[in-house]
Structure 1
Amino acid sequence: MTGMDMVRMEAPERVGSTGLPDGRRLAWAEWGPADGRPVLFCPGAGWGRTLGFGFAALAELDIRLISVERPGSGESTAMPGRTLLDWADDIGRLGVAEPAVVGFSQGAPFALALAARGITAAVAIVSGGDELAHPAMPLPDDVRRLVDLVATDPARAERDFAHFGSAETLWRLSVEGSSEADRAVYLQPDFAAAFGRALDSGFAQGPAGYARDTVLHFARWPFRVEELTARVHLWYGGQDGNSTHSPDHGATLAARIPGATRHYLPDSGAALLWTHGGEILRQLLASAPATPAQSISTSGRPCTDGYHRLP
């Protein structure tokens, strides 16, 4: 599939939220067979749970795709001061047995945190946000200034990101700053409508969730990717001009992660989830152990008797 083909979009088949021991809730959406192999999706910056991918491959590959809204985004309860590993611990309480994981854009460090906690053995990072604060990472000047601000004054950086962030701003950054290959996808009416809904949902509680996520992305990560044991696939398009994804399209990150496979597509952009979704999922599942399917629990424990649906 190329970026000029029509992109198929589908609304979630199931939505719900799960209670955590501290009283917070995590909101989620699902596509594909309810008893399929779980693939947990960590979405991009400011997104709600409603934007999926790879729909044509879900039934074929028997995949249950689960998108979870991070705290403070969509309908997931806020958690001020949270860390990447707090996120991993929250996911560990959802009761999904050894999911494969996909992280897109700013979802990348959240996906890798799941690998660091041993929650997953197979990860696909797609157009992923790199560890920009790592000393080995070559950075453009504008990105370096943000990394330095997060390192020296994280509270101010979080306030600045909150002032900056909105659904409208993220839409402009994603579309107006993208390559021709990506605009061919993003401006398709069905995709644009679905993307707009996901951003509106993501900012439903305001910008604080996005701001915290962005600080965590630009800071040093609280785990060493050199120590990951999960099988990691890194997918980058040569026409992806977003320098906060990865200034070198994942080359340094791939060299740091033991056994990582870097898929570099020189003629593609950032929209690989929608132009190559089936291929990404096939490669991911080839690396993932087969595990029994479980429903997401409404109490934070595994369950097998259905879903807590939103009204």
Structure 2
Amino acid sequence: MTPSKSNTFTLVLSDGRTLAYETYGVCHPNQSTSTAFYFHGLPGSRLEAAAAASHVTRVNLRIISIDRPGFGLSTPRPGRILLDWPKDVAELADHLGLEKFHLLGVSGGGPYVFACLKEIPERIINAAVVCSAWPFDLGTAGMRWATWFLLKTASVSWLQGVVAFLLDWEMGDLARETEHPERFVDAFMKAMSAPDRPAADAEVLQDEVLRAQVIAATREAFRQSSIHSAWEAGLYDDWKFQLSDLDFKGRLEIWHGRLHVNVPVAMAEKAAARMPWATLHLVEDVAHLSLPARYLREILSSLVGVQTSSAAVCMSNVD
């Protein structure tokens, strides 16, 4: 294990690849400290979990946020599928001396939570997904057109180069530019303020601290190449397993904003119906960025079983 900078570390895996991760929260964990692995969105990176730093110590939690292959500082893994990820997570957990742990996946990180529930359920205490992506067989009615186009195009392997080109054209090239970092900020804010995106997401980005955190995490996502985002986008159409295959004995919580247009709320409802042991939280007046921005403390508290008196959410138990 080699410290790279501040709380960033790298682990050389058994196959020779490097896995990078960032730690947030409790600096010196003890037996009462819970650990959660954080799976970032798409495009995203280990820096995405910085938004949790102000909340985790209140619930005695340590978050370990991992760069997936090809993102941030982690070595690419050509040809990977969702079900390859649990092996990396298990190897990192073994290295850290963690027999069991929680999982938190946000947006594109959600499918990786379910891959772990499929492959290593015995090691997971509780899990939560926030604004998760879902398999396309749940139906995509109401999905933002640009999101649908990107994901469907990326699912065709020979078109992934086109998707990478489009991502570079929108912001990937600017993310890697060092002489004029403000150009990436401008491009990012323009994309987030598009008329087909919910105003709630643009509103939370008015917070300077949150905006800087989101921009840093997104910039890091494109550090190596946009082709890795294109490849990953192609995995979300077909997960290679079914939600109904899962039989998790811990607690799974699904958090979704009713204003979400990248992933319509109907997809989350149908997904929850396939897992009768899960709990679905539908939150009013929030969408993609605004849900974790406004309710992250409640999400983390619920994950580790700590009571909290704030947050007015609409919670539906799936029977």
With normalisation by structure 2, the TM-score equals: 0.77
Decide whether aligned partners of structure 1 residues 171 and 208 sit closer, same or farther in structure 2, where only a CA change above 3 A counts: farther
Greater helix proportion: 2
- Name the amino acid aligned to 1:17: T
1:40-79 residue pairs with structure 2 within 5 A?
A: 40-52=37-49, 53-79=51-77
Candidates 130, 133, 143, aligned match of 1:129? 133
State how far apart, in whole Å, the 1-side matches of 2:191 and 2:100 are: 34
- Name the amino acid aligned to 1:276: Y
1:170-249 residue pairs with structure 2 within 5 A?
A: 172-176=190-194, 177-217=196-236, 219-230=237-248, 231-242=251-262, 245-246=263-264, 248=266
Is structure 2 residue 73 aligned with structure 1 residue 80?
A: no
Is structure 2 residue 270 aligned with structure 1 residue 252?
A: yes
State how far apart, in whole Å, the 2-side matches of 1:241 and 1:162 are: 22
- Name the amino acid aligned to 1:130: W
Indicate conservation of the 8 Å contact 1:157/1:215, yes or no.
no
Is structure 2 residue 123 aligned with structure 1 residue 105?
A: no
Is structure 2 residue 14 aligned with structure 1 residue 17?
A: no
Indicate conservation of the 8 Å contact 2:257/2:265, yes or no.
no
Indicate conservation of the 8 Å contact 1:236/1:263, yes or no.
yes
2:159 maps to which residue?
Answer: 157
- How much has 1:50 moved relative to structure 2? 1.2
Indicate conservation of the 8 Å contact 1:138/1:247, yes or no.
no
- Name the amino acid aligned to 2:254: L
- Name the amino acid aligned to 1:37: S
- How much has 1:155 moved relative to structure 2? 1.4
State how far apart, in whole Å, the 2-side matches of 1:258 and 1:207 are: 37
State how far apart, in whole Å, the 1-side matches of 2:149 and 2:48 are: 31
Decide whether aligned partners of structure 1 residues 161 and 120 sit closer, same or farther in structure 2, where only a CA change above 3 A counts: farther
Gaps of 5+ in 1: 1-11, 288-311
- How much has 1:248 moved relative to structure 2? 1.5
User: What percentage of aligned pairs have identical amino acids?
Assistant: 25
Decide whether aligned partners of structure 1 residues 249 and 279 sit closer, same or farther in structure 2, where only a CA change above 3 A counts: farther
- Name the amino acid aligned to 1:91: V
Secondary structure of 2:197's counterpart equals: coil
With normalisation by structure 1, the TM-score equals: 0.79
- How much has 1:171 moved relative to structure 2? 5.6
State how far apart, in whole Å, the 2-side matches of 1:131 and 1:280 are: 23
- How much has 1:67 moved relative to structure 2? 0.7
- Name the amino acid aligned to 1:188: D
Decide whether aligned partners of structure 1 residues 85 and 62 sit closer, same or farther in structure 2, where only a CA change above 3 A counts: same
- How much has 1:257 moved relative to structure 2? 1.6
State how far apart, in whole Å, the 1-side matches of 2:37 and 2:192 are: 23
RMSD: 2.3
2:282 maps to which residue?
Answer: 264
Decide whether aligned partners of structure 1 residues 200 and 54 sit closer, same or farther in structure 2, where only a CA change above 3 A counts: closer
- Name the amino acid aligned to 2:79: G
State how far apart, in whole Å, the 1-side matches of 2:54 and 2:103 are: 18
How many aligned residue pairs are there?
A: 269
- Name the amino acid aligned to 2:112: F
Indicate conservation of the 8 Å contact 1:175/1:183, yes or no.
yes
- Name the amino acid aligned to 1:127: C
- How much has 1:149 moved relative to structure 2? 4.6
- How much has 1:181 moved relative to structure 2? 1.6
Decide whether aligned partners of structure 1 residues 148 and 180 sit closer, same or farther in structure 2, where only a CA change above 3 A counts: closer
- How much has 1:156 moved relative to structure 2? 2.1
